[in-house]
């Protein structure tokens, strides 16, 4: 199990969401958040309880993951720099 800090870019609202899955050290978990299904706005909207939206990668940013041992892994590095 791990957590991810998500940001709704339109409002700046942030939410730490718990993911009931293992964090894979081989890069699979980063891929899922940066380029896979969790990278899509339509899936990230669900974590906020928002209405479904169109697919894309601009409405939400995954800032970082918090692993079970407390380490943080930065996600969406390019998008985070542009949105700041």
Contact 34, 43 (CB under 8 A): no
| Six-digit token string for 28 | 């699979």
Global confidence as pTM: 0.86
Residues 6, 60: contact at Cβ < 8 Å? Answer: yes
Q: Could you tell me the residue range of the domain that residue 60 belongs to? A: 2-83
Instruction: Count up the domains in the chain and report the number.
Output: 1
Q: What are phi and psi of 28, to 5 degrees?
A: -65, -40
The residue that leads in pLDDT, 9 or 80, is: 9
Are 59 and 35 contacting, i.e. CB atoms less than 8 angstroms apart?
no
Of 52 and 41, which is predicted with more confidence?
41
Q: What's the pLDDT tens digit per position in 2-12?
A: 999 999 999 99
């Amino acid at each position: 199990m791990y957590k991810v800090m998500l940001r709704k870019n339109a409002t700046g609202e942030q939410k730490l969401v718990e993911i009931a899955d293992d964090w894979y050290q081989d890069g699979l978990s980063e891929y899922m958040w940066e380029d896979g299904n969790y990278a899509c706005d339509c899936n990230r909207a669900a974590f906020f309880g928002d209405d479904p939206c169109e697919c894309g990668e601009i409405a939400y940013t995954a800032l970082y993951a918090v692993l079970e041992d407390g380490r943080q892994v930065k996600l969406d590095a390019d998008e985070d720099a542009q949105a700041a």
